[in-house]
């Protein structure tokens, strides 16, 4: 991974994360990474940056359907198989403090939700927005394709609701989102969550907290051995 992708690595220790708000493993990965950073002795020196990724970019913009119905129809998955997979993930999520309610989760085109993340980033509220969107999708069962819902969530976090509504109406941050997607293609990212530590090492998937701690520890040790 070259410096040209992210820019020159410098303090703080940077973790670049590609994720999508309708990805349940991304929600779990986000929570477990947060726990690892909290355990990390140098956690205050860690910066997490989020990048847009779309699992289902062909899904019609503005529409929504129950995610379970979509999986059954699109991939021919039996409802029992879907329920079993969800039960396992919900159990892992509960251990990380997450409340998955898959029966209410909705499949959408996430482009507008990513606009809200970029808007929040511009106001220093990126992580809070990522977390709120995940909770809205997997616990609250909200329709994140609805501009009113998205603008309300922005206002809930203290952002200007009118600015959020305007960003949605005008298709703001399109260039930033496309840049994130292009970086993902450049790095060969085909699935999320995907984590890059200090532009040097990658972790793919919602791994156990120990995996993230090891990546943090080794990345920090790398810095210690680098010439000043």
Query: What is the SS3 assignment for 196?
Result: strand
DSSP string, 202-218: EEESS--HHHHHHHHHH
- 164-172: average pLDDT: 98
The number of angstroms, rounded, from the C-alpha of 92 to the middle of its chain's C-alpha atoms is 17
pLDDT in tens, 37-52: 999 999 999 999 999 9
Please tell me the class of the 3-225 domain.
Answer: alpha beta
Average pLDDT, the chain: 94
- H or E stretch covering 23: none
Q: In angstroms, rounded to a whole number, what is the distance separating the alpha carbons of residues 121 and 129?
A: 8
Confidence tier at 227 by pLDDT (50, 70, 90): low
Is residue 199 left, alpha or beta, with left meaning phi > 0 and alpha meaning psi from -120 to 50? Answer: left
pLDDT in tens, 185-213: 999 999 999 999 999 999 999 999 999 99
| Strand positions, DSSP E, the chain | 13-19, 46-52, 65-66, 106-107, 194-197, 201-204
Asked if residues 108 and 64 have their Cβ atoms less than 8 Å apart, the reply is: yes
Confidence tier at 3 by pLDDT (50, 70, 90): very low
pTM for the whole structure: 0.93
* β-strand pairing of 201-204 with 194-197: antiparallel
Burial of 211 (0-12, 13-18, 19+ CB in 10 A): middle
Cα within 13 Å of Cα(15), Cβ side = 28
């Amino acid at each position: 991974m070259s410096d040209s992708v992210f820019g020159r690595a410098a303090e703080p220790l940077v973790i670049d994360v590609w994720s999508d708000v309708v990805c349940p493993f991304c929600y779990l990965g986000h929570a477990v990474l947060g726990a690892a950073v909290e355990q990390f002795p140098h956690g205050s020196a860690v910066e997490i940056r989020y990048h847009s990724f779309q699992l289902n970019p062909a899904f019609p913009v503005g529409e929504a359907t129950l995610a379970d119905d979509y999986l059954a129809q699109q991939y021919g998955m039996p409802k029992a198989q879907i329920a079993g997979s969800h039960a396992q993930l919900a159990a892992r999520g509960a251990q990380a403090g997450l409340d998955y309610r898959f029966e209410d989760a909705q499949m959408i085109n996430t482009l507008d939700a990513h606009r809200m993340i970029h808007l929040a980033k511009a106001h220093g509220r990126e992580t809070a927005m990522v977390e709120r969107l995940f909770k809205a999708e997997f616990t609250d069962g909200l329709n994140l394709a609805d501009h009113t819902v998205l603008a309300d969530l922005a206002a809930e976090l203290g952002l200007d609701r009118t600015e959020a509504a305007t960003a949605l109406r005008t298709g703001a941050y399109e260039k930033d989102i496309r840049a994130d997607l292009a970086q993902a293609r450049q790095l060969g990212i085909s699935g999320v969550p995907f984590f890059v530590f200090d532009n040097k090492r990658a972790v793919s998937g919602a791994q156990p907290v120990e995996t993230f701690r090891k990546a943090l520890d080794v990345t920090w040790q790398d810095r210690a051995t680098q010439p000043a």
